[in-house]
Amino acid sequence: MQIKKVGIIGGGQLAWMMGTAAQKLGIDLIIQTPHTDDPAVSVATEVIYGEVGDAIATSALAARCEVIGFENEFIDLPALNLLAAKGIIFRPDLTALEPLLDKYHQRCYLEKLGLPNPQFWLWDLEQSDQNNLSYPLVLKARRHGYDGQGTMIVKDKLQLLTINKEIENIPFLAEEFIPFTKELAIIAARSVEGKIKIYPVVETQQENAVCRRVFAPAAISQDLVLAAEKIVTTILEDLHFVGLLAVELFLTPEGKLLINEIAPRTHNSGHLTLEACPTSQFEQYLRAIAGRELGDVSMQAAGAVMVNLLGYPGLEDYLAKTQQLAQISHSYTYWYEKTPRPGRKLGHVTVLIPAEALEDSGNQKTVLEKMRAIAHQVETIWYG
């Protein structure tokens, strides 16, 4: 029996972009979200209003759907475990999420699997002055960090003393700083039957710890592609994970991959799959948790570039800017209908590079040069 009623905890732009896929698959999308103006409200069949961590709202959500998935990982796991004990189906399963939600637990889990980690340790404010620390170092909030929030690069002891006063009551994880040459990401899905489909590895570029642009496919060797695929496959199979998993990676100067973070959901690095692949990450996620067959994840263009449209001081007339962006050849503009504020992700633009637009479609360098030029064009229009 096919599942036709899917609940999603969270109602931001990730859930919003599931709307078209749900309609295509004949799925009723029922959303749990706190605000009437959250993006996914406009595409949902039904809305349960409540905070993401509100288990009472989730109980009401469960009464209206057959399976519950997640837009983000800011959930109250102990409270959801009580619901799972009553027979409510969550996908991914809560036991698969348990080692991933806390960034320190996530690092320990990856270490147990023997996967490539930076050095890490629990942050202790009282002991920080006594440790012989190497700078720079990275501090990450163990829960609820996103878009650079909760992540700090500490350059020296003076900055550390200032930060210590700000984070006194927040559990933190400390990591060695990795002088990477590239940041990469890989997204894969695993079905109820255990079948896995892996999207092409992409390069992500961050500014102020927020993703600014994504290039697909990443300009890396086949050996690195296989190494990334092995990492994500190992995690999916060990957790018996059903759903979608994104793994952010560092490429070191020595040519090695290190895991940065794991996101057990749809991910910003996969937005370009809406146009670049026959099956988008949003459709794939719904297929996986609804027990459907997974779709085709191959690239249907020589390349694709995605640029996030971030808010900034003095942003005005953004409607005219999005209209300009829509004039770029092979472009697709998404506007999330969120209140603009500096640093907030307000929308994104994806631009495809068809094979016929290249003299040599197999030339990785040529594709990368075109993607960089397109990103510059988009950002010139948006930021001026």
**Mean pLDDT of the region 87-100:** 97
Q: Cβ distance 251 to 183 under 8 Å?
A: yes
For the purposes of burial, counting CB atoms within 10 Å of the CB of 372, is it exposed (0-12), middle (13-18) or buried (19 or more)?
middle
Give pTM, 2 decimals. 0.94
Rounded-to-integer distance, Cα 63 and Cα 95, Å: 22
pLDDT, tens digit (0-9, with 9 covering 90-100), for 136-161: 989 888 887 665 567 888 888 778 77
Determine which of 118-127, 198-207, 297-306, 318-327 has the lowest per-residue pLDDT on average. 118-127
pLDDT, tens digit (0-9, with 9 covering 90-100), for 210-233: 899 999 999 999 999 999 999 999
- The pLDDT score that the predictor gives to residue 367 is 84
- The pLDDT score that the predictor gives to residue 358 is 65
Q: Which residue has the higher pLDDT, 356 or 312?
A: 312
Specify the DSSP element, H or E, that contains 285: helix 281-289
Domains, the chain, ordered by start: 5-90 (3.40.50.20), 119-176 (3.30.1490.20), 182-383 (3.30.470.20)
DSSP for residue 362: T
